[in-house]
Amino acid sequence: MTDALLTETRDETTAAWWRQAAVYQIYPRSFADANGDGLGDIPGIVSRADYLRDLGIDAVWLSPFYPSALADGGYDVADYRNVDPRLGTLEDFDEMVAALHDRGIRVVVDIVPNHSSDLHEWFQEALAAGRGSAARERYIFREGSGPDGSEPPTDWTAAFGGSAWERVDDGQWFLHSFAPEQPDLNWDHPEVREDFLKTLRFWSDRGVDGFRIDVAHMLTKDLTEPLPSTAELELLPHDGNHPLHDRDDVHEVYAEWRRVFDEYDPPRTAVAEAWVSTPERRAKYASAEGLGQAFNFDLLVADFDATQFRTIITDNLAQSQATGSSTTWVLSNHDVTRHATRYGLPQLGGRTGAKQGVEWVAAGGPEDQLDRERGLRRAHAATLLLLGLPGSTYLYQGEELGLQEVAEISAEQRQDPAFFRGAVFDGLGRDGCRVPLPWTASGPSFGFGSGEAHLPQPDWFAESAVDVEAADPSSTLSLYREALRLRRELQTDETLEWIETGRPDVLRFARPNGWQIVTNFGTEPFDLGTDAADVVLGSVSGGAVPADSTVWIAPGLIG
Ligand code: BGC
């Protein structure tokens, strides 16, 4: 290729596709099951490629589809460069990338670098090789405490509950920040670093456009002896030198990854899942020399509340302008109670959204605490607001159907390790948002597959099945399709201007090209005056924006 041609194809618009993309998260084991074994698979995704095109998204992000014992829904990866045989083959994966690319949809895959599965060949080797071996150096093995080493090296707890250390047969202990089947890798080890570069190239060479980086803030650790206790850790500031979280030296890893991403044309993109203490700390992950973008979960933990939304939006836009990245918006994903349910619960005040969903699930989902209709109305309002904002929006499979969290899953049917290990942070665990999608109102597993789905689907899924909603112009699916279509016109410059409404519970902003978004978080209708005539999305009644709703006003029409 000549230089001139190269410059032509390295077009900035293509390279910057991620800046304002609508990215749809697929949880592959619960999306569509082509072979009837009850687990969603890659051919299932191919079979729904037209559905994804018609939805109008720009990219899909696939949660892990790699070989895994499913100790943590696939976030326990046994082989980073392969497809779980229950989900398909590498050839199926290639076919999926081609099918999605043909429809103008980019593909983002999940990379899980903090830990592998205990079934990964490296960990099996480490177990066999014994204490003091080179193979153990790739993980974090330590001697126990107490006179005979029978106590864990420290009192640290894992995110899913219980000790963060597990003992192996010869008496040593290994660190696992999540489940015991997820041993933490040692990021000081050059082979660990090399191997992930190989993985990034492997998937990039297969045409993957970007990566979502799991717990991006936890890779590097300072494990200099003596190790601190939990109480000592709690006193330490999160300033880049904390022994376990959000260390400055993790960015050396991402600078190396960036060099790999930039070997490709267009450069591969990445988004960090980094639960860090401040927007400033988050910005480091989003830097152009690093991963480029980071998830902003602020709205996910907020109430349905105008003041909270406005502050979060303003702060994050300022932050992304300062760093040159683009911001991200998320209301639901595979780790939290679906937002249609969260918003139907009493709002607690303060940034408590995710927590209150957790409490409801943990209590067994009492219906008298939940107003499903109101939750769905507010979910529509919040999503339409998000889709009108500058930056990229991440949508989670099933939210386009207005799905609610499923509480009715028995203990025997649950799969989430957080449930079995009694983690406090998500109560009954995350299975309720991972129930396989309903594609048809009738038939086995609501059209998910020909067999029984791996998690039980409630009867009420019939009302939200794709075939029902596709035929109904007033459904959540029709609303998402229309919003995602109009969004292509709306997303230009990455700025907005707030317009004062005289009401603290009503937010209104304009994009530079004239589009306006109005969200009424309150209980009284908001009068739009003559602008009501120019509403192209959302509904007005008697010239007013009803409670718990959002409207989009098109430019040019505004008189
Ligand atoms: C993922 C979770 C997973 C955890 C450990 C996360 O943040 O989103 O689903 O359990 O990382 O890999």
Predicted confidence at residue 492, as pLDDT, reads: 86
For the Cβ of 469 lying below 6 angstroms from any atom of ligand 1, the answer is: no
Q: Please tell me which residue in 121, 263, 373, 489 is annotated as part of the active site.
A: 263
For the Cβ of 75 lying below 6 angstroms from any atom of ligand 1, the answer is: yes
CA nearest ligand 1 atom 12, residue = 75
Element (H, E) at 361: helix 353-362
> Quick one: fold of 3-113+190-483?
TIM Barrel (3.20.20)
CA of 214 to the centre of ligand 1 (A): 6
Ligand 1 atom closest to Cα of residue 75? 12
Concatenated DSSP letters of 419-485: HHTT-STTTT-SGGG-SPPP-SSSSGGGGS-SS--SSPPPGGGGGG-HHHHHT-TTSHHHHHHHHHH
**Can you list the residues of the chain whose pLDDT is less than 70?**
1-12, 350-351, 423-427, 557-559
214 is catalytic: yes
> Quick one: fold of 495-553?
Immunoglobulin-like (2.60.40)
CA nearest ligand 1 atom 9, residue = 335
C-alpha of 310 from chain center: 22
Predicted confidence at residue 423, as pLDDT, reads: 63
Predicted confidence at residue 359, as pLDDT, reads: 83
Which 3 state secondary structure label does DSSP give 205? Answer: helix
Predicted confidence at residue 426, as pLDDT, reads: 56
Predicted confidence at residue 282, as pLDDT, reads: 93
CA of 397 to the centre of ligand 1 (A): 17
For the Cβ of 335 lying below 6 angstroms from any atom of ligand 1, the answer is: yes
Nearest of 10, 55, 8 to residue 31 by alpha carbon: 55
Domain 3-113+190-483 and domain 121-175, same fold? Reply is: no
For the Cβ of 273 lying below 6 angstroms from any atom of ligand 1, the answer is: yes
Pairing of strands 549-553, 516-520: antiparallel
For residues 530 and 533, give the distance between their C-alpha atoms in angstroms, rounded to a whole number: 6
Q: Please tell me which residue in 76, 110, 214, 426 is annotated as part of the active site.
A: 214
Tens of pLDDT, residues 273-321: 999 988 889 999 999 999 999 999 999 999 999 999 999 999 999 999 8
Tokens of 385: 């607001």
Give residues with Cβ within 8 angstroms of 175, minimum separation 6.
139, 140, 142, 156, 164, 165, 183, 184
CA of 335 to the centre of ligand 1 (A): 7
The answer to whether 158 and 176 are in contact (CB under 8 A) is yes
Per DSSP, what are the bridge partners of residue 59? Answer: 23, 106
CA nearest ligand 1 atom 7, residue = 215
CA of 273 to the centre of ligand 1 (A): 9
CA of 279 to the centre of ligand 1 (A): 21
- For the chain, the structural domain boundaries read 3-113+190-483, 121-175, 495-553
For the Cβ of 209 lying below 6 angstroms from any atom of ligand 1, the answer is: no
305 is catalytic: no
Entry pTM: 0.96
Predicted confidence at residue 7, as pLDDT, reads: 37
For the Cβ of 27 lying below 6 angstroms from any atom of ligand 1, the answer is: no
For the Cβ of 416 lying below 6 angstroms from any atom of ligand 1, the answer is: no
For residues 353 and 330, give the distance between their C-alpha atoms in angstroms, rounded to a whole number: 12
> Quick one: fold of 121-175?
Oligo-1,6-glucosidase; domain 2 (3.90.400)
CA of 115 to the centre of ligand 1 (A): 10
For residues 90 and 80, give the distance between their C-alpha atoms in angstroms, rounded to a whole number: 12
Ligand 1 atom closest to Cα of residue 114? 12
For residues 204 and 230, give the distance between their C-alpha atoms in angstroms, rounded to a whole number: 39
For the Cβ of 215 lying below 6 angstroms from any atom of ligand 1, the answer is: yes
The answer to whether 499 and 507 are in contact (CB under 8 A) is no
For the Cβ of 127 lying below 6 angstroms from any atom of ligand 1, the answer is: no
Give residues with Cβ within 8 angstroms of 535, minimum separation 6.
528, 551, 552, 553
CA of 418 to the centre of ligand 1 (A): 11
